[in-house]
Every structure is written in structure tokens, then in C-alpha cells.
Structure 1
């Protein structure tokens, strides 16, 4: 399916459901694979596979897949280091200490952190009062999810801290990359970021004890988790995501961010016997409410433009946040108003 194809409503809903399931169950696959792989090496191998598959796709389907400008190279380097390397190193280590659903919920805070860092770092950025309220509500949700009682001041709190740092790494990278105007389409930029990120993860892994291939337990479940994460959650997941972006725009695609924790919770309960607590549900509700407040203007704009054929929804806001496995990218492509699709 061409990335520029505008699918029907039924197809769009099917793609949304598929992406939600694939990215929601990816947190369960991470938990399962950590029984076989050291965490950072596991993340590195996942992105080896994902980058090769996605690079193969963009090389076969696009005339513009090789970096051509300094902006391309700098954007890929920053994104690969912070939005893939640092982000996934912290995510995979932190996921050892928390249930699948909790990991997905904490990463759904990323759009709010991105908005907060943008206000601090970018002079043109402003935040209205409902945006501030949304960020406060989101952090209250984190406190509820973490449930910082004396009985939980152990591994789970460590995991919460690592996952928040993971979200922050991604958010900082998102704000930093907003300064660049790449010449490549989004799919090509993403493929190269994954490859650079895989290299960063391998470098981190090589410098840590217990992160060598000799520490890997080559089990069927571990290999299945690796292939699922690399091929389905990353490579195929990105292609489905790009199709949704073309069809409905970033604001509505970003709602995947808040459906994946539900899938992660149910899958973790069914497959890993993880418990769904009242604190988890309540915290997720607060974070979802915070997201809706932070994104209220973008969502309202998207709804008002619905039905217009003059400009695709993707171009409503050239600095909108877009979602990748529960995380938000900032798209900024200068005067053209959107990454062109081949």
C-alpha cells in the first residue's frame, strides 16, 4: 500500500486497531524477551533488525532515501542518539522493574514532556492555561501510577524513574530536531535514525558488564520476542503509522498513544499474569485527561478541518507531535508544511 494512498474510513479504523495492538503488545514482548537477553543488547538487536527492514523498504520504494544535506545528517544523528539510543536504553532497563501496562502508561507522558521542553527551549513556543493544567494533571497521574508508598520504594520506583528518563530523552530529542528542515521524507529519516540508534545501543551495551552475547539465553520465546519487536512492532508498525498520518493527521494518530496502555494491560494480564490495580487505572485516566488538555487546540483544529479536501489533515500543524510506539515526535519541515510522501 502506497504511503500516499488515502484509505477508507473502515480501512483507517482497521489500521488504527492494528497499530494499537502491535504497539500495545510490544511492551509485553519486551518483558518476555528480557528473560533471555541483557536489556540494552536486546534493544540494540531489535533496532538492527528494524533498521535493515525499514531501510530496505525506503530504498526500494523511494527515490529519496539517502541523506543529502547537513540538516539530514544532523537530524538523523540527534534523533538516533536521543530518540532511539538513549530512549530505548532507559526503556528496556526500566521495563525490567515494572509491569507492561505501567511502562506503556509512563511513556504516554512523552507528548506532555515534549510540550513542556518546547516552551523552555524554543522562544516562539507558548503554552495556554489549559496546557499547563494538562501537564500538572499528567504528573499527578504519574504519582498515582507510581503509588509511592513505603511498600513500593524499591524496584518499581527505580523502574518508574528510568521510564520517566526514557520519555524525557525522547522529548528532548523531539524539541531539538524541531530546529531542522530535512530534505528526506519522514520514512527515510526514521529508517536512518533507527540504524544510528542501533549503533548507539551497541556502544552502550559494549561498555557494560553482563551485556555480551555470551549472556544471552537463546530460547524460542526470546527469539520470538526479538523478531516480533524488530519486524512487526517497529518496521511494519512504522509503515502502518505513516499510512495513518497521511489519512487522518497527527492529532488523531497520536490517540494511539492512549490506546496502547489498555492493550498492554490486558495482554500483560493474559500472557504474563500481571495485575491491573486501581492505581494503574486511575493514573492512566489522569494522564489521558492531561494529554487531552495539552492537545486541545490541535484536536479542535483537526476536527474543524475534517471534511475539507483542500489540505490533507497531516498538514494542519507542521509542528504537531506524532506517535511512535507510545512516543511523540515533533514534525517540522519548514516552508513545505509536511514531509512529502513518495
Structure 2
């Protein structure tokens, strides 16, 4: 019972953090280009994790580093840039909803490539949750937002990366604690992201007020949206199934739309119905 409560607390905590990430990306893009934003996000997250968990690095077996590098690229590096690029043309609320494709991809990839089994009830939960997510976006004001197919595809690719990431962690890194995984990811990513940040001219414009303000949003995004959230995510993967862990993507749109409400974007009655459908899907996908 205690484990079950912890699973739900972790899920809700991640939803609150990740659901706020899209508005932070939007604010960060006001002063940074997508590559500066993605790189700065990773640098901030990596520095935070290395400060918190540097003592865990010597514990990592040599044979695990290749899997840590894979999860670092798929779970952090590639999506950080894809979402930043996508949000130059797609609203933060729509990006949050499209992120709900993650559990579906995790389920399909896990069954096809990783030999993981899943039950009919879990498939039903994933499907219901995804339908609820579609209701959230296609019955509200965001229908008026112009979307660009190529940028939608970028988010889809990011969710495929997330789906591969969670399956790799579950299959090859389940014997490692969440702090060690997150710190190992940070050790892999710090220098490449710092090199891209430098090459893209960030340090030449960091003195500008608009860049400094945007960087503060990205600092929050990196420390909480990547560093803290990944710690919670890795812990949840160890405690539950990949389907339940990635079902956080169904709660993320609710948080994203809440931020929109604070920004005077009002939800339609059908969107509230969609939110309830999302919660039903999460509940079903987490059942054994």
C-alpha cells in the first residue's frame, strides 16, 4: 500500500514539473534561439545533478556506461532540442498534449523490441488516455492556433525517443538507483551541450537583459524540468511498469492547460471532460 501511494505521489509530482516545462520553454524562446535554449537547459540540469550526485559516479560499472549514454541521448539530449525547435511554431499547450504520445510509443516499442509483455487493460488505458488528450486540445481555443506539420513531427520523434528511453532503463538499468542514472546521464551530456552552447554564441549575448531573463526561465527548466523530474521518473520506473511511468504524459496536458488558464486562456466544458478521461486512462494503465 505504501509503495502504491508513493507511485502516485511521484506521478503527480512529475506531472506538475513537466507540465510546467512547456510554458518555461515558451518564455525562454523570447530571448534565446532553440539551440541555445536546449543546450543551456542541459548544462543547468547536468551541473545540478553532478553537484548532487557526484559521489555515485564511481559506483557505475564500466559495462553500464553505453546504456547510460543511450538513455542520456534519447531521454534528454535529443528531445531538449526537438521541443525547443517545435515550440517556435507550436503553442506550449499543444506541445504538452502531443507529449501524450509517449506511453503509446513506450508500449509499442517495449512489446516489439524489448520482449516486454502487457495486458489488454493496459492497452485500453493507454488508448483512453490518448483520446482524453485529444479532447483536451481539439475542443478548446488551441484549435485556432496554426500548427505546422513538420514541427508536429519533431514532437512525435521526441516521444519515440522517450519511449525507447524508458524501455532501455527498465531492461538494462533497473539494478541502478535513480540518482546514479541521472548523474551518469549528466556526466555524458555536460561537455557536448556546453560545446554547442558556446559555438552558438550564447556567451556573446548573455549580457543582454532579454537573454538574462530568458536564461532564468531555462535555469528553472533545467534544474527542475530535467534534473529533479528525471530523478523522480527513474525512481517511478523502478517501482512500476513502463506503461504506468510514462502515463505521466497524460497528466501533463492538464497542468499545461492550467498555465494557459492563468494566462487568460479559458478551457471549454469538453476540455474538462477530456481531463477526466485522461485520469481514467492513467488509472487503467497502472493496474496489474
8 Å contact from structure 1 (residues 41, 201) kept in 2? no
Mapped to 2, the partners of 1:104 and 1:285 lie a distance apart of 17
* Mapping for residues 290-301 of structure 1, pairs under 5 Å: 290-297=281-288
Name the CA distance, whole Å, in 1 between partners of 2:182 and 2:221.
16
Q: Is 1:73 the counterpart of 2:60 in the alignment?
A: no
Q: Is the 8 A contact 2:89 2:148 kept in 1?
A: yes
Distance 1:100 1:141 in 2: 18
Distance 1:15 1:186 in 2: 13
> Where does residue 97 of structure 1 map in the other structure?
89
Q: Following superposition of structure 1 onto structure 2, how do residues 323-338 of structure 1 map, counting pairs within 5 Å?
A: none
Q: Is the 1:114–1:171 contact (alpha carbons within 8 Å) kept by the matching residues of 2?
A: yes
Residue in structure 1 matching 2:121, options 102, 108, 130: 130
Q: Does 1:40 align with 2:29?
A: no
| 1:40–1:201 CA contact under 8 A, matched in 2 | no
Count of matched residue positions in the alignment of Structure 1 and Structure 2? 278
* Structure 1 residues 195-243: Cα deviation after superposition (integer angstroms, max 9, x where no partner): 4345555677789xxx54257764243122022112333334455x379
Listed one character per residue, the Cα deviations across residues 298-330 of structure 1 (whole Å, up to 9, x for unaligned) are: xxxxxxxxxxxxxxxxxxxxxxxxxxxxxxxxx
Query: Residue by residue, what CA displacement relative to the aligned partner does 1:71-128 show, whole Å, maximum 9, x if unpaired?
Result: 32111110111111112221222233333333233323322321121011123x2232
Q: CA RMSD in A?
A: 4.0
CA distance, structure 2, for counterparts of residue 177 and residue 12 of structure 1:
17
- The 2-side partners of 1:263 and 1:19 are apart by 11
Compared CA separation, residues 285 and 159, structure 1 to 2 (3 A) = farther
Where 2:165 maps in the other structure, the secondary structure is helix
Which residue in 1 is equivalent to 2:50? 55
Looking at structure 2, the residues matched to 296 and 203 of structure 1 have their Cα atoms a distance apart, in angstroms, of: 44
TM-score, normalised relative to structure 1: 0.65
Distance of 1:19 and 1:290 partners within structure 2: 17
Of Structure 1 and Structure 2, the greater helix share is in: 2
Match of 2:258 among 266, 279, 289: 266
TM-score of the pair, normalised by structure 2: 0.75
Report deviation, 1:190: 1.0
Q: Show structure 1 runs of 5+ residues with no match.
A: 1-5, 298-342
Gaps of at least 5 residues in structure 2 are: none
Specify which structure has the bigger relative contact order, considering alpha-carbon pairs within 8 angstroms and separated by 6 or more residues: 2
